Homo-oligomer: A and B are copies of this chain.
Amino acid sequence: MEKLKVAVVGYGNIGAYAMDAVNGAPDMELVGLVRRDGQTPQGVTIPVVDDIAKLPTKPDVALLCTPTRSVEEYAIKCLEQGICTVDSYDIHETIYELKMSLDAAAKKGGAAAIISAGWDPGTDSIVRAIMLASAPNGLTHTDFGPGMSMGHTVAAKAISGVKNALSMTMPMGYGVHRRDVYIELENGADFEKVKADLKADPYFATSETHVYKVDDVNVLIDKGHGVNMVRKGGAGKTQNQMLQWKMTIDNPALTSQIMTACARVAKRQGAGAYTMLEFPLIDLLPDSREEIIRALV
């Protein structure tokens, strides 16, 4: 069996984990790493380039481990060269627009783009769909965390007097979240003023927010995260069906693993852009269709 040739684009939070996941896949070969500066990180022995077109082996699929706002630009570049892409674009409000944009580029280049592949959006989207199909009337509540919120951490760091910050999302149940914000102050900053400014910031003003002063934010950071999604709903005329999906996970490791499974999917679809609701899930797995059906159905 010929192995799927996969390149990793970006070496930030997710890229290194994506390399682990591709190396662990029995049906894939990691053909290179693409970084803006083209520098080879310590311990990396595969080709590292600053432009995917310069890789010695042309990849079938590129895993886009770039910041979410750069996804569209990198994806279009790959797709137009006929290289399939997988991204974990996570701005929920504009996923449909990304799909439309990448769909056009993908059809032009004769490749497939799997978009918003991760856990939310991603596997959580799949769970939402099966919950809704199983119990069409009712309410779904989603709790995230405990885990670091990137957006709220950036917002906290932007407050005047803050040297470093960590904003944790704490699940309080049934979709309500508390923010626990840990702050290192600039020299001479007034904690009470910083705290008041932070609580008044639009990112925090509408949630219960606790602010703690600490000496060193970095020792508090771990990349664990979680989700607890609960649907209570009716099937037909029968009420009170309870469905639940819960995960406690390492955020970049899980995201990159799901992206890696989607590299298979990309190669198995026709040209176009697909969210995780738009392809058969059997395409996520390396085995034959018969093996998968016998093992999982």
Query: Separation in Å of the A282 CB from the closest CB of chain B?
Result: 4
Contacts of A18 in B (CB 8 A): 236
**Looking at the complex, which of A78-86, A129-137, A186-194 is the stretch in contact with chain B?**
A129-137
B281-A136 in contact (CB<8A)? no
A244/B241 contact (C-beta < 8 A), A277-B280, A281-B277, A290-B96 known: no
Residue of B nearest to A119 (CB): B134
Q: How far is the CA of A133 from the CA of B279 in the complex (A)?
A: 14
A residues 252-284 in Cβ contact with B at 8 Å: 253-254, 256-258, 260-261, 275-282, 284
Confirm or deny: A20 has a beta carbon within 8 angstroms of a beta carbon on chain B.
yes
Q: Number of A interface residues, CB 8 Å?
A: 64
Confirm or deny: A196 has a beta carbon within 8 angstroms of a beta carbon on chain B.
no
Confirm or deny: A153 has a beta carbon within 8 angstroms of a beta carbon on chain B.
no
A129-B249 in contact (CB<8A)? no
Confirm or deny: A99 has a beta carbon within 8 angstroms of a beta carbon on chain B.
yes
Contacts of A280 in B (CB 8 A): 277-280
Pick from B128, B241, B253, B261: contact of A296, CB under 8 Å: B128
B24-A284 in contact (CB<8A)? no
Residue of B nearest to A261 (CB): B133
Which A residues have a C-beta under 8 Å from some C-beta of B?
17-18, 20-21, 24-25, 92, 95-96, 99, 116, 119, 121, 123, 125-130, 132-137, 235-238, 241-250, 253-254, 256-258, 260-261, 275-282, 284-285, 289-290, 292-294, 296-297
A297-B277 in contact (CB<8A)? yes
Q: Which of A116, A133, A292 has the most CB of B within 10 A?
A: A133
A236/B258 contact (C-beta < 8 A), A280-B278, A285-B132 known: no
Contacts of A293 in B (CB 8 A): 95-96, 99, 275, 277
Q: How far is the CA of A207 from the CA of B86 in the complex (A)?
A: 46
Given contacts A119-B134, A125-B297, 20 further A-B contacts (CB under 8 A): A17-B236, A20-B238, A24-B136, A95-B294, A121-B297, A126-B130, A129-B281, A133-B258, A133-B261, A134-B254, A134-B257, A235-B253, A238-B250, A238-B253, A238-B254, A242-B249, A277-B293, A278-B289, A280-B280, A281-B281
B134-A92 in contact (CB<8A)? no
Closest 7 CB pairs of A and B: A20-B236, A238-B253, A235-B257, A133-B261, A133-B284, A21-B236, A277-B282
